[in-house]
């Protein structure tokens, strides 16, 4: 996720709330502004945040890098699993 402040965050997509226009990431790391042009450069941070909730209107870019991992499918007792993932996201610019 890149915010309109040009700060990049990486984490696990936790929720997208269409009613509140928010996106929540868990286990989040901030990579700062890196080489993106901005009037206020922000350095990367080493700590991992438990979660961060972002306002949709302040998100510049959102990309899903890896599909979710399902540990249930590793159980030989399970014959079939259906996961219903529905994502509705509007990024306002």
pTM for this prediction: 0.72
- The pLDDT mean for the chain works out to 85
Is residue 50, in this structure, part of any structural domain at all?
A: yes
> Per the structure, how many domains does the chain have?
1
User: Residue 66 belongs to what domain range?
Assistant: 2-74
Let me know if residue 83 belongs to a domain.
no
Q: Give the whole-angstrom CA distance, residue 25 versus residue 14.
A: 5
pLDDT at 92 over 60: no
Question: Which CATH number is 28's domain given?
Answer: 2.30.30.100
85 falls within a domain: no
User: Does 67 score more than 80 pLDDT?
Assistant: no
Helices (H) and strands (E) in the chain, counts: 0, 5
Look at residue 74 and tell me whether its pLDDT is greater than 70: yes
pLDDT at site 93: 43
Q: Is residue 8 part of a domain?
A: yes
């Amino acid at each position: 996720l890149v915010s309109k402040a040009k700060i990049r965050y990486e984490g696990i997509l936790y929720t997208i709330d269409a009613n509140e226009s928010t996106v929540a990431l868990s286990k989040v790391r901030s990579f700062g502004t890196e080489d993106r042009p901005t009037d206020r450069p922000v350095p990367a941070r080493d700590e991992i945040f438990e979660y961060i909730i972002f306002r949709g209107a302040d998100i510049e870019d959102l990309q899903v890098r890896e599909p979710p991992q399902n540990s249930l499918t590793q159980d030989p007792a399970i014959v079939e699993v259906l996961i219903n993932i529905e994502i509705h996201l509007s990024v306002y610019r």
